[in-house]
Amino acid sequence: MSVSYTNASGTFDLASSSGPNPRYSISMETQQKSGIAYANRYSISATGTFIATGDITTQGERAKSILDEIAVELIRSGGYGTLTIQSPGGSTSLIFKDCKLLTIDAAEQDESSQGVTTQEFTASFEAYKMQQTSGANDDDFYENLGDGDLDDLNESWDWAITEDYTSDKQESETNRNFTATYTVSATGRGSSSTSGYEAAKAWVQSRVATNSNPLAAEDLLGNPNTLDGLPPAANYNLYNKITSRNEDTSSGSYSETVSWVVSKHQAGCSVDISGSLDPAGAANTVDVSVTITGYEDNLEGETSSKYSNAKAFYDAKVEPYLPTWAESHYNTFLAPSLTATGRSLNGFVTSKSVSANETDGVITVSATFDDKNVLLGAVDQNIQITDTNADGGNQIVAIIPVIAKTNGPVIQDMSTTGERTRSISLDLTMDQNNRVTRPDGYAQIAAYIPNANPVYRQNASETWNPFSGAYSLSVDYVWTDNSITN
């Protein structure tokens, strides 16, 4: 039986070559958190016999001699080494790696032992890795959790539903957002090859890498980390990731806290639609206002993705559907109040403004629609009709002044009426995509030309500005029928 301790300076046998076999005891304590084990701590006590040198008769000198020589042998590499306990014949060995010497105890001799050259001493060790000579390692499970280099570890998740919402109006969805916060910390004890801080940092970073997706996280045993109320992973993605780190190299501790926004969409979207019913106006209007706030893919990245995410959401989820949203609002809230038939909201905007804040990742758009009956390609249209003597009721009379007739002239009915006239004026404003070709104004006023027979056109004037899109047409008609129906 031999008990030896090996460090960088060599091997020290706890028994002299001629002395008795050393005695030893081993105890094991499993370190765990909430039933999850992360290390085995081995406490080894070995009692050996030492042959004293120097003055062995003077009180205290022998113990001092023993402690000095043992300390020189055992404490050479910062307190770390390999303790080997070998059975007689060397068939079986217990090997404790990164073993740390804690105490050396050599009792002072009493009167009866003075002059005796041998002295027992006890060395206490602590280790976290034990291996048999057969190669079977009893510590595989714990090595996966830090290889016995951790004094303490903690891991926690925090999930919360936020007051923020994301909206996909086209899909009639309004979804809540979540926040996920993952905190991992450890205190390392270190070994001959690494410091406690390095061991803690390596373990924490390995856990953070394992749980880089909070929607598919694992606990310390590798089981899915589930919690009631979490969003379905298939429909949600991670945004605004940010990591905070804390390190204390003197105490060997390291921690990371990672947080995410868990959202179904890459941007927050707020849609506000308002309709205006104006009985005295030429048209009724619907205004659509949308604010889009992009999320970051990763707040730790060198460049921001907020604006690109906001723009992608705008292109796919907002811009194509503005007319649809306006029409739905019109049909739901305005149309029921309209008794006139044939009115419907136009599918093109009469005005639109878009602002983009690329720094903050915010896009706002405002669009206005109306139900004015206009020529295709026009954004505004106005027709003015002026009829003169349309009912033929105007009388032509002769007014004859008479001298000394105190009550005025003589008015004589000629038993006839004047011509009937209609003046039609059309004003159009074409949108910027329809200003190359002059619009057909006559087609727009065709329904208002008097349906008398015969009817005569007297005057017509037309103006057209292809730069501003302004177009006007003025036409005068005359006829003598007693009545018209339009």
- pLDDT tens per residue across span 309-340: 999 999 999 999 999 999 999 999 999 988 77
How high is the pLDDT of residue 293? 94
How high is the pLDDT of residue 440? 94
- What is the Cα–Cα distance from 120 to 54, expressed in whole angstroms? 16
Question: pTM here?
Answer: 0.68
- What is the Cα–Cα distance from 457 to 455, expressed in whole angstroms? 7
- What is the Cα–Cα distance from 92 to 253, expressed in whole angstroms? 37
**Residues 6 or more apart whose Cβ sits within 8 Å of residue 369:** 285, 286, 287, 288, 323, 326, 327, 330, 345, 346, 347, 348, 349, 350
Q: Do residues 264 and 236 touch, judged by C-beta distance below 8 A?
A: yes
What is the mean pLDDT of the segment spanning 461-469? 96
- Phi and psi, residue 365, nearest 5°: -135, 135
Of the candidates 64, 62, 44, which has an alpha carbon nearest to the alpha carbon of residue 4? 44
Kindly tell me if the per-residue pLDDT of 40 is higher than 90.
Answer: no
DSSP, collapsed to helix, strand or coil, labels residue 20 as coil
Note the pLDDT tens digit of each residue in 371-416.
Answer: 998 888 998 999 999 999 988 889 999 999 999 888 999 999 999 9
Q: Do residues 266 and 292 touch, judged by C-beta distance below 8 A?
A: no
**Greatest Cα-to-Cα distance within the chain, rounded to the nearest angstrom:** 175
**Residues 102-107: contacts with CB within 8 Å, 24+ apart?**
102/126, 104/67, 104/70, 104/71, 104/74, 106/50, 106/63, 106/66, 106/67, 106/70, 107/63
